[in-house]
Amino acid sequence: MVNTKRLVDDFIALCRINSPPRQEAAVIESVLPRLQRLGLEIQRDEAGAHIGGNADNVIARLPRNLPGAPPVFFSAHFDTVEPNPNVQIIVEDDLIRTDGTSILGADDKAGMASLLEAIECVVEHNLPHGDIWLLLSVAEEIGLLGAKHLPLERVNATMGFVLDTGPPVGKVVVGAPTHDHLTVRVIGRAAHAGAAPELGISAIVVASRAIARMKLGRIDEETTANIGTFHGGQATNVVCPEVEIRAEARSHDTAKLETQLTHMISCFREEAEQMGAQVHIETSRHYEAYRLPEDAPVVRVARESALALGLPYEAKLAGGGSDANVYNSKGIPTVVLSTGMDKVHTHDECCRISDLQTTAQWVLEIVKRLASG
């Protein structure tokens, strides 16, 4: 049923359109005519204005042809982690990759292409289905910004599937952590490093002592923490008066996350106090955790559909977030389905044609299973 040539051609065409976060207009304009031709009702929201981008989220609905079948949504994102305006795509047997000078864009155009092919097959073969919603988001790679501004109240789906993680196809992400950011400014006192270093308070030393005390990396099976960036200093002959540190912590357990954040903040404050420096700390929540049980309807449908196709089903907890975190927090149970994207966020990114095909078949099987009750 899946037209592999059409699917591959569409995937490559999508990857050739440069679409970094906040610059997705061109790729969206390439997709909309196809949705319109297939008879989907299309809405756009106002996400672009809220996030400073040139495009909005696309909310599309394929009206039901089977009364009583449950409404469902599928989701993918338009943006890529970085620009790739001169992408050179190479096809070797089953593998699609670049020449190594840029990302491919399979994250998330593998999910996007497979989803569009599945919807094409539903319409082409007049398969029975309830309302099928497509939530196609912008700016996912920079904090799930599109999904956060998507008006989910317009969507009547009872469950959702986000196509946005790597192989093996058959893996289902049923939980992801809460993710918090910290921005820390340590303010010391400048002094001449050669003439009067004792008059200065080195912000670098304060911050370094604090970081050296911290529990970082893998804290436990549910919790991680990291110092991501460290900026400051003027010259080697100046005692550094100020530094800025950006850090994060994640956990599947909110109480553990709060404990880790308190620990990190205390380290900065205690070292600053001991050395006579000041510290200013801002925290922000990137996204909220979710975890769905094996007997949740959305998990059951994903599992049974995978097993019906002979796929290696596995329920996983992710270490990172996706639009599914937002959709779950807004009240629609949602899991993440694996696709063909591999080695994402690197210039070795690639995708297997067989995985693209299998992902589209998985979406079709989910639609069929929901329609059959």
Q: Where are the alpha helices (DSSP H) in 87-191?
A: 106-124, 145-148
Please provide the distance, in angstroms rounded to a whole number, between the alpha carbons at the two ends of the chain. 22
How many C-beta neighbours within 10 Å does residue 371 have?
A: 19
Residue in 10, 45, 56, 79 annotated catalytic: 79
d(CA 225, CA 228) in angstroms, rounded, equals 9
Smallest CA-to-CA distance from 260 within 243, 274, 247 is with: 247
Give the C-alpha separation, 133 to 246, whole Å: 37
- Cis before 33 (ω within 30): no
The three-state secondary structure class of 172 is strand
How far from 10 is each of 7, 62, 112, 211, 234, CA to CA, in Å?
A: 5, 20, 9, 48, 50
Report the DSSP pairing between strands 72-77 and 159-165: parallel
Burial 199-229 (b: 16+ CB within 10 A, else e): ebbbbbbbbebbbeebebeebeebbbbebee
CA geometry: angle at 43 spanning 37 and 45, to 5°? Answer: 145
**What are the residues facing 89 on neighbouring strands?**
98
Q: Are 58 and 118 in contact (CB under 8 A)?
A: no
Q: Is the peptide bond before 79 cis (omega within 30 degrees of 0)?
A: no
Helix 4-15 × helix 106-124 angle, to 10°: 140
Whether 79 is catalytic:
yes
Distance separating alpha carbons of residues 62 and 75, to the nearest angstrom: 14
Catalytically annotated residue among 108, 117, 140, 271:
140
Active site residue 220: no
Listed as own residue / partner, the contacts of 123-128 with beta carbons closer than 8 Å and 24 or more positions apart are 123/38, 123/39, 123/62, 125/1, 126/65, 127/364, 127/367, 127/368, 127/371, 128/65, 128/66, 128/69, 128/371
Active site residues per annotation: 79, 140
